């Protein structure tokens, strides 16, 4: 076997690693979700890069052409649908473009913007990840021979959840007077993270604060409840 044969075999998809040779750019601000997708790529044979904002993603795409682009729809500097729409019908559009979000109601807008598919959070199913990408790749990028569907559920390190919660606490501390524009993003970010981590108590506390703010009600109690819950979670994660 010469070097060319070895390189070919190492970059060809296999039943065990069906996405071998595939490059993926993930546009995501949550460390917890990034860790889940890093593990999925590792199990699948794909290479992954990350951008944490629309601005960073645009810089990546100026010099890097991934086979697959996965875009979170709630980012610190805008809506991921804007990036999807920008890329649609252009030479910069990757072969596979997938939207992800904890808000199932955003599936329609994402597909209208030009996404091939929408995967709701939490992102846990390795088979959904693999099969969604493979369904939009040409046949010559598929593994040959029989292949069992991998039903493994991916569980990221909980310390990644701690990092996301810490990030939210910092944003909320910067917005004690509730006038900072970061508050809306912080709550959106936290809700998505809580859904990904299957933490319904935190998600419910976020919804309660959001309803109080939108209804023009005094939100101090809901905000204090959320802050106390976040501190409780972080304390538990720190000693786990």
The answer to whether residue 11 scores a pLDDT higher than 50 is yes
Q: If you average pLDDT over residues 106-115, what whole number do you get?
A: 97
Length of the chain: 240
Q: Return mean pLDDT, the chain.
A: 90
Q: If you average pLDDT over residues 59-74, what whole number do you get?
A: 95
The pTM for the full model equals 0.90
Q: How confident is the model at residue 7 (pLDDT cuts 50, 70, 90)?
A: very low
What is the spatial distance between Cα 184 and Cα 157, in angstroms, rounded to a whole number?
27
Secondary element (H or E) of residue 26: strand 23-27
The answer to whether residue 200 scores a pLDDT higher than 70 is yes
Q: Are 49 and 24 in contact (CB under 8 A)?
A: yes
Q: Are 71 and 98 in contact (CB under 8 A)?
A: yes
What is the spatial distance between Cα 121 and Cα 72, in angstroms, rounded to a whole number?
10
pLDDT in tens, 168-186: 999 888 766 555 567 889 9
Instruction: For 140-172, give one letter per residue: b (16+ CB within 10 A) or e.
Output: ebebeeeeeebeeebebeeebbbbbbebbbebb
In this prediction, residue 183 carries a pLDDT of: 85
Q: Which of 101, 96, 71 lies closest to 84 in space, CA to CA?
A: 71
The answer to whether residue 3 scores a pLDDT higher than 60 is no
What is the spatial distance between Cα 98 and Cα 185, in angstroms, rounded to a whole number?
22
Q: Are 129 and 24 in contact (CB under 8 A)?
A: no
Neighbours of 234 (CB within 10 A): 16
In this prediction, residue 5 carries a pLDDT of: 40
In this prediction, residue 240 carries a pLDDT of: 66
Q: Are 149 and 20 in contact (CB under 8 A)?
A: no
């Amino acid at each position: 076997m010469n070097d060319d044969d070895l390189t070919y075999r190492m970059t060809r998809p296999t039943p065990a690693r069906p996405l071998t040779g595939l490059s993926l750019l993930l546009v995501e601000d949550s460390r917890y979700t990034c860790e889940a997708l890093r593990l999925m790529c590792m199990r699948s044979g794909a290479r992954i890069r990350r951008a944490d904002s629309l601005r960073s993603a645009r810089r990546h795409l100026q010099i890097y052409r991934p086979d697959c682009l996965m875009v979170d729809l709630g980012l610190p500097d805008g809506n991921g649908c804007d990036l999807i729409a920008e890329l649609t019908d252009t030479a910069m559009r990757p072969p596979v473009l997938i939207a992800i979000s904890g808000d199932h109601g955003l599936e329609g807008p994402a597909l209208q913007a030009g996404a091939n598919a929408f995967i709701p959070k939490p992102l846990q199913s390795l088979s959904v990840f693999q099969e969604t990408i493979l369904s939009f790749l040409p046949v010559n990028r598929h593994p040959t021979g029989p292949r069992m569907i991998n039903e493994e559920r991916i569980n990221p390190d909980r310390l990644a959840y701690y990092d996301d919660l810490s990030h939210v606490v910092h944003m909320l501390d910067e917005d004690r007077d509730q006038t900072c524009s970061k508050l809306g993003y912080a709550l959106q970010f936290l809700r998505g993270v809580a859904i990904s981590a299957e933490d319904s108590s935190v998600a419910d506390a976020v919804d309660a604060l959001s309803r109080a703010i939108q209804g023009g009600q005094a939100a101090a109690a809901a905000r204090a409840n959320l802050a106390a819950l976040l501190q409780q979670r972080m304390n538990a994660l720190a000693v786990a």
